[in-house]
């Protein structure tokens, strides 16, 4: 809890220096309802605090685990807070955010009655919903930004603005970071890509990173993505990974030590250097698994259009039969759209037929209008060579599913350019080999690929879907 005369973040910095720890331990007692629940909560938390205090930078009780037991549960929370040593800060995980008198009442509970040092807040209703909390100087405010729960991407990664724009969670971070000098962010520790994006945007903001351990987050990856240049400003949160351990003290010590080893590794290589630690891209891996599950990727013997016999086949047309995978793929494409400050993307041009569903999905994701070239000139009606609305001189980004050679892409680009459109970029989901990139460069078109075929093969190997021998065969085939 807040030490008299010190701000929350000042106390936190002192505690981190004293304990040599960035670990935040969750106090989330999972006790069955009953007359004895409050006593069990206090006993469980006392045992956990006694075991872990030496290795802990701060504690984070989630208020829901106490409110569920009614008045007795709230009394147990107050007792729990009194058990925390005075030099260890407390973040009350309440996720509050409401209007007027309601927000004011929540703030009084958190800071007047419970005397928490900091609180998690939901910014969805705007600054006015946070102001009753912000009126308590010296407290800490961690605003929900990119949360760790499955499905959070459906809203939080929506693209805002033209030319794809930033994800909504980045816009939220932009907004709330200006509400208070004591503002921090809640960013999923099990989503290194989002952590890295927030840290790039805000080099020194405090980040509370849940999702480590039971939710799949890796300490090394979270630290590599989210640590500040000072080697601090990141609080990886572990709850069940400590409280559920047979020896909570040993578990907390191990998490602390792993965090510190990861800190040392990143600082040695330099924060912001090129890949000091190899980060897993969980969203990319999820797409790879989707390609396997939907039969887009198949092993066997397949005769290609060129006459070559391939040991695998990629049929990305099958993605359109999976709405969930199509949404993920649309966001993947949106993340690689070229960002030119001098000229926005004005049209997306899907190359028929395979890329038309992808271009449609990307258009819906980004609000960038879509057109498409007719690969064979229309011989009736209007005789259009390009379908959709467009104006000569507009900047168009070509969209296709994958690239092996540049033949069909160049044909599409020529049709668009002949009508006066500016075509300088191509986006694809998968790049297979190096021939296509060279073909596009010769036509003055930059290739932007979300993933390389080699990355897919490595994922298949890591997951045991293929063995070492098959992996070597696939890699050798695309190299040839």
Residues 294-338: pLDDT tens digits? Answer: 999 999 999 877 677 899 999 999 999 999 899 989 989 988 898
**CA contacts within 13 A on the Cβ side of 475:** 15
Strand, coil or helix: 431: strand
Q: Which run of H or E residues covers position 428?
A: strand 422-431
Average pLDDT over residues 31-50: 93
What pLDDT does residue 163 have?
53
58-112 pLDDT tens trace? 999 999 999 999 999 999 999 999 999 999 999 999 999 998 899 999 999 999 9
* Rounded Cα gap, residues 280 and 268, in angstroms: 20
150-166 pLDDT tens trace? 888 888 888 887 555 78
Q: Is the pLDDT of residue 280 over 70?
A: no
What pLDDT does residue 29 have?
94
Neighbours of 34 (CB within 10 A): 11
What pLDDT does residue 1 have?
40
* Rounded Cα gap, residues 457 and 446, in angstroms: 24
State the maximum Cα–Cα separation within the chain, in Å, rounded to a whole number. Answer: 81
Contact call for residues 114 and 77 (beta carbons, < 8 A): yes
Give the range with max mean pLDDT: 137-146, 221-230, 327-336: 137-146
Q: In the annotation, is 171 catalytic?
A: no
Which residue blocks in 340-452 are alpha helix, DSSP H? 356-366, 407-418, 435-442
Contact call for residues 159 and 106 (beta carbons, < 8 A): no
Burial 172-184 (b: 16+ CB within 10 A, else e): bbeebbebbebbb
Contact call for residues 119 and 141 (beta carbons, < 8 A): yes
Hunting for tokens 């596009």 — which residue is that?
440
Tokens of 193: 């890509």
Give the active site residue among 6, 40, 95, 443.
95
Cα angle value 13/266/11 (rounded, 5°):
5
Neighbours of 390 (CB within 10 A): 18
112-138 pLDDT tens trace? 999 999 999 999 999 999 999 999 999
What pLDDT does residue 380 have?
58
Percent of the chain exceeding pLDDT 70 equals 93
Average pLDDT, the chain: 90
User: Which residues are within 8 A (CB) of 274 and not within 5 positions of it... i.e. 6 or more apart?
Assistant: none
Average pLDDT over residues 383-411: 93
Terminal alpha carbon distance of the chain:
63
pTM over 0.85: no
Q: What torsion do the CA atoms of 308, 311, 317, 318 make, to the nearest 10 degrees? A: 160
Distances (CA, A) of 56 to 24, 78, 104, 236, 237: 6, 20, 31, 11, 10
* Rounded Cα gap, residues 412 and 374, in angstroms: 8
* Rounded Cα gap, residues 145 and 218, in angstroms: 19
* Rounded Cα gap, residues 375 and 392, in angstroms: 19
Residue count (the chain) = 480
Distances (CA, A) of 452 to 72, 317, 354: 56, 18, 19
Tokens of 465: 């879907």
Report strand pairing: 166-167 vs 159-160.
antiparallel
Contact call for residues 141 and 12 (beta carbons, < 8 A): no
User: Which residues are within 8 A (CB) of 355 and not within 5 positions of it... i.e. 6 or more apart?
Assistant: 399, 400, 401
β-bridge partners, 96: 121
Strand, coil or helix: 372: strand
Cα angle value 123/128/129 (rounded, 5°):
50
Domains of the chain, first to last = 8-269 (3.20.20.70), 282-479 (3.40.50.2020)
Hunting for tokens 């060279």 — which residue is that?
438
């Amino acid at each position: 809890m807040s030490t008299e005369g010190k701000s929350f973040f000042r106390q936190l910095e002192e505690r981190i220096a004293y304990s040599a720890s960035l670990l935040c331990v969750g106090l989330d007692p999972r006790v069955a309802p009953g007359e004895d629940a409050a006593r069990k909560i206090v006993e469980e938390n006392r045992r956990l605090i006694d075991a872990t205090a030496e290795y802990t930078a701060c504690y984070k009780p989630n208020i829901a685990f106490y409110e569920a037991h009614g008045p007795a549960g709230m009394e147990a929370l107050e007792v729990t807070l009194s058990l925390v040593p005075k030099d260890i800060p407390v973040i009350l995980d309440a996720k509050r955010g409401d209007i007027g008198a309601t927000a004011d009442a929540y703030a009084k509970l958190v800071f007047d009655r419970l005397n928490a040092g900091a609180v998690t807040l939901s910014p969805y209703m705007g600054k006015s919903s946070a102001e009753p909390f912000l009126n308590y100087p010296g407290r800490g405010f961690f605003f929900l930004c990119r949360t760790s729960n499955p499905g959070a991407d459906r809203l939080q990664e929506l693209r805002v603005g033209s030319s794809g724009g930033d994800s909504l969670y980045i816009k939220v971070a932009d907004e709330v970071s200006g509400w208070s000098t004591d503002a921090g962010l809640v960013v999923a520790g099990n989503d290194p890509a989002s952590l890295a994006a927030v840290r790039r945007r805000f080099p020194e903001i405090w980040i509370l990173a849940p999702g480590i351990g039971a939710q799949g987050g890796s300490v090394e990856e979270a630290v590599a993505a989210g640590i500040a240049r000072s080697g601090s400003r990141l609080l990886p949160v572990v709850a069940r990974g400590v409280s559920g351990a047979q020896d909570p003290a040993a578990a907390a010590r191990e998490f602390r030590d792993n965090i510190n080893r990861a800190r040392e590794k990143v600082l040695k290589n330099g924060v912001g250097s090129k890949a000091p630690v190899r980060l897993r891209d969980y969203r990319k891996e999820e797409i790879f698994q989707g390609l396997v599950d939907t039969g887009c990727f198949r092993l066997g013997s397949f005769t290609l259009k060129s006459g070559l016999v391939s040991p695998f086949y990629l049929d990305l047309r099958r993605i359109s039969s999976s709405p969930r995978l199509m949404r993920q793929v649309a966001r993947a494409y949106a993340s690689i759209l070229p960002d030119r400050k001098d000229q926005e993307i004005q049209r997306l041009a899907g190359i028929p037929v395979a890329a038309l569903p992808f271009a449609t999905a990307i258009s819906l994701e980004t609000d960038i209008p879509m057109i498409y070239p007719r690969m064979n000139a229309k011989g009736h009606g209007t005789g259009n060579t390009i379908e959709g609305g467009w104006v000569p001189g507009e900047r168009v980004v070509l969209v296709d599913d994958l690239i092996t050679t540049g033949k069909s892409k160049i044909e599409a680009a020529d049709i668009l350019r002949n009508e006066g459109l500016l075509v300088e970029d191509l986006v694809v989901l998968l790049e297979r080999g190096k021939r296509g990139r060279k073909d596009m460069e010769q036509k003055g078109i930059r290739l932007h690929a979300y993933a390389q075929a080699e990355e897919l093969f490595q994922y298949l190997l890591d997951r045991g879907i293929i063995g070492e021998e098959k992996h070597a065969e696939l890699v050798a085939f695309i190299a040839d």
